[in-house]
Chains A and B, each alone.
Chain A
């Protein structure tokens, strides 16, 4: 829309402090230097608010719920204020024909300019009849709207790779956006749900630099998915030390040991969870004692299950460096004690046989 976002603070009740804080968080998530924060702020304040059309297909709305998290007003307000959200089934006021009309009006008016966000997978089996909105299949809706978008953000693992709907045996033939759309730049923001900071970062990157962020070969922004969870995990030292929770609730689990043996998929999963964390209280699954399930990876329902058994083919360091060294060390000390004992016995034996002749020892 032509509307400017200049008065974000006044419009939304978001404080200036909260606004700057949100931009700073995003700059950190993007890996930008603090010198870039004013540019992000400027882009968020003065750029034309991009029109965003948000389509929901086969999904649980968890991604939207996570994004709009009531306890996190800075991030969610910022998201809603820097974009002009013209169509979003969960939070829009109109319904029925009115809702459909606003969708089509907006698409016509902003053709080639709007950002399309897709949440949920798209069923393709039997002509896609397993997901229909306003009498049309998800496939139809996507095929009509996607080519008119300037860029597409596939939010959540379902939209990116099909998610749980596409898990074996995939009864509805569910697919991700990138399998059905070509010719429009697509960014995948997988996760179940993804971190709102990652979505906001992608949008602000787009507003500030006028292009989508660099992505890996799975179409995920490198700023958020460029690093392995295992390498940035706060429990990594326990892994290296060989200290593991063997089962939930045991001594190791209570003491914050590594969750690898109870199924953590951190070694095979790429995401910023350990750094960006979730909600106001900065938690993520591993920090609260549950292993990573690998939700940012394609087909994680098929490849990361069973969730509570450890990954095969990942070498783990013994029973622990210190425990191993202690066990070997006790043997070494035992050998030394035995050697001293033999030495003493031989000395005593000799003196018994030869009599007390010390000089000949």
Chain B
């Protein structure tokens, strides 16, 4: 078979992806500590501040997360063709077809693979949902970070309710990101096995291998 290398993802998208991955892993680990500080009774004291350290790392990672999400929003509008939001919105005949093909393929109802250079539309829609929830996540994070700020109190209160409600939503959304990460990693491996096109390596190199004349 004849393959050709096609560039799918720009450098900025790949940087965004890995910043988001590392920040999510860090945020979940430190977030669990903040939620349930298991060392508190043994380590907190003059020389060691596990809670302060964890919070610091959490906030730093939160900024990385926020920056990554903002970059992705930028790329939705100004990225290359695969990165733009129009490429995955099910509003064109091509995209609606991609959605139904992928649903059939993923549920083992058909063997027809939508060999697109960019995301298939099901994946693309999931990523849009994830980015939307990520926006909600960093907004709720800042709402919790600045409980005394009039600015965040004002519209944070409108969106999230009380601090405790904001905290609860922040916690629930964390579980979305954990579940998303599992599903995401599972699906890319599954795709790489079922229809090899260099899907996994594409997020490192930016390139996919496509059949010629497709």
Which residues on B sit within 8 Å (CB–CB) of A339?
Answer: 12, 15, 71
CA distance A359 to B6 in the complex (A): 12
Residues in B52-76 with C-beta less than 8 Å from chain A: 52, 55-56, 59-60, 62-64, 66-68, 70-71, 74-75
Q: Would you call A352 an interface residue if the criterion is a C-beta within 8 Å of the partner chain's C-beta atoms?
A: no
Whether a CB of chain B sits under 8 angstroms from the CB of A317 is yes
Asked, given contacts A241-B52, A336-B71, A347-B78, whether A329 binds B63 with beta carbons under 8 Å apart, the answer is yes
Which among A61-69, A142-150, A293-301, A319-327 touches the partner chain?
A319-327
Is A332 a contact partner of B56 (Cβ separation < 8 A)?
A: no
Contacts of A336 in B (CB 8 A): 67-68, 70-71
Chain A, range 24-48, C-beta contacts under 8 Å to B: none
B46 within 8 A of A: yes
Q: Give Cα A194–Cα B47 distance, bound, in whole angstroms.
A: 29
Confirm or deny: A315 has a beta carbon within 8 angstroms of a beta carbon on chain B.
Answer: yes
Report, as a range, how many residues of chain A touch the other chain. 20 to 34
Q: Is the CB of A321 within 8 A of B52?
A: yes
Asked if A230 is at the interface (CB within 8 A of a chain B CB), the reply is yes
Q: A230-B46, A317-B49, A339-B71 are in contact. Are A328 and B66 (CB under 8 A)?
A: no
**Given the interface contacts A230-B46, A359-B81, does A324 sit within 8 Å of B70 by beta carbon?**
no
Q: A321-B52, A339-B71 are in contact. Are A328 and B46 (CB under 8 A)?
A: no
Residues of A within 8 A of B47 (CB): 315
Establish whether residues B12 and A328, one from each chain, have CB atoms under 8 Å apart when the complex forms: no
CB contacts (< 8 Å) of A317 on chain B: these are 49, 52
Given contacts A343-B10, A343-B78, A359-B81, contact A321 B59 (CB under 8 A): yes
Query: A151-182 interface mask toward B, CB cutoff 8 Å, 1 = contact, 0 = none?
Result: 00000000000000000000000000000000
A333 at the interface (CB under 8 A from B): yes
A361/B71 contact (C-beta < 8 A), A322-B59, A329-B59 known: no
Residues of B within 8 A of A (CB): 10, 12, 15, 45-47, 49, 51-52, 55-56, 59-60, 62-64, 66-68, 70-71, 74-75, 78-81, 145
Can you list 9 pairs linking A and B with CB atoms under 8 Å apart?
Answer: A230-B46, A240-B52, A315-B47, A328-B63, A329-B62, A329-B66, A333-B70, A361-B80, A361-B81
